[in-house]
């Protein structure tokens, strides 16, 4: 009997086990989560997710077509160079010594416009000598990637910048080069083949 009383006293001194119903989620947290959800739903409707993503930076359709070399205007050679060429040839056109040849002062850039067009159309693989230094690498072909207008624009940019003064290249010259070599599927083999096109 005394043992039962002692056990009952011990049980009375213990606190009850905690339960979720005793400490519910604070109302401030519920309000904050609700406001965040309402903002997210509102943002989705305000953002117009079905709009043309190409116009997301507020450029007009004509501006975008001009930069892409479409019919609305001339292609932007500097933009194409930055996107397609600068990673290897550097933004300054100086290339990377021993790895990627320079465009600044290059005899291949300042040569005939048809030569430069052919290089961009089909790429290069093998040894190429630029300004007396030999480079042995590969340059990708851009014939399938860029239009005649885009190739002409980037060639014009390269031939009139970085200290070069070779002059502009028009779409017709690129088109002529493309048609003359339309059956070619392999890149030029560097000095060996390109020297014949000089």
Among the listed ranges 20-34, 49-63, 96-110, 147-161, which one has the minimum average pLDDT value? 49-63
What is the rounded end-to-end Cα distance, in angstroms, of the chain?
116
Tell me the CA distances in angstroms from 51 to 68, 139, 158, one per residue in order.
20, 37, 36
- Write out pLDDT tens, residues 5-34: 666 666 777 777 766 666 678 889 999 999
Say if residues 113 and 175 touch (Cβ distance below 8 Å). no
Which residues, 6 or more positions from 153, have their beta carbon under 8 angstroms from its beta carbon? 69, 74, 75, 76, 77, 80
CA distance 80 to 85: 8
| Mean pLDDT, the chain, integer | 78
Separation CA 43–CA 47 (nearest Å): 6
Q: For residue 96, which phi and psi values (nearest 5 degrees)?
A: -125, 115
Question: CA 183, CA 158: separation in Å to the nearest integer?
Answer: 27
Q: Global pTM?
A: 0.60
Q: Which pLDDT score is estimated for 23?
A: 67
Closest CA to 197 of 177, 172, 183: 177
- State the pLDDT at residue 49: 61
CA-wise closest residue to 149 among 98, 74, 90 = 74
Q: What percentage of the chain exceeds 90 in pLDDT?
A: 6
Predicted confidence (pLDDT) per residue in 106-140, tens digit: 888 888 778 888 888 888 888 888 888 888 888 88
- Per-residue confidence (pLDDT) for residue 6, from 0 to 100: 63
Q: What is the pLDDT of residue 175?
A: 85
CATH C-level class of 75-197: mainly alpha
Q: What share of the chain has pLDDT > 70, as a percent?
A: 78
Residue 72: pLDDT over 60: no
């Amino acid at each position: 009997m005394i043992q039962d009383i002692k056990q009952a006293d011990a049980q009375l001194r213990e606190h009850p086990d905690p339960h979720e119903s005793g400490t519910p989620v604070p109302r401030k947290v519920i309000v904050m989560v609700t406001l965040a959800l309402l903002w997210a739903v509102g943002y989705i409707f305000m953002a117009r997710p079905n709009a043309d993503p190409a116009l997301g930076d507020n450029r007009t359709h004509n501006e975008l077509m001009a930069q892409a070399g479409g019919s609305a205007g001339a292609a932007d050679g500097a933009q194409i160079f930055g996107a397609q060429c600068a990673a290897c040839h550097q933004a300054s056109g100086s290339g990377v010594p021993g790895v990627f040849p320079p465009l600044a002062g290059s005899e291949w850039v300042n040569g005939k416009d048809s030569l430069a067009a052919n290089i961009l159309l089909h790429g290069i693989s093998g040894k190429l000598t630029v300004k007396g230094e030999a480079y042995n690498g590969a340059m990708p072909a851009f014939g399938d990637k860029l239009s005649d207008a885009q190739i002409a624009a980037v060639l014009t940019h390269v031939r009139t910048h970085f200290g070069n003064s070779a002059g502009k290249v028009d779409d017709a010259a690129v088109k002529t080069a493309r048609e003359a070599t339309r059956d070619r599927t392999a890149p030029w083999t560097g000095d060996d083949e390109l020297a014949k096109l000089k």
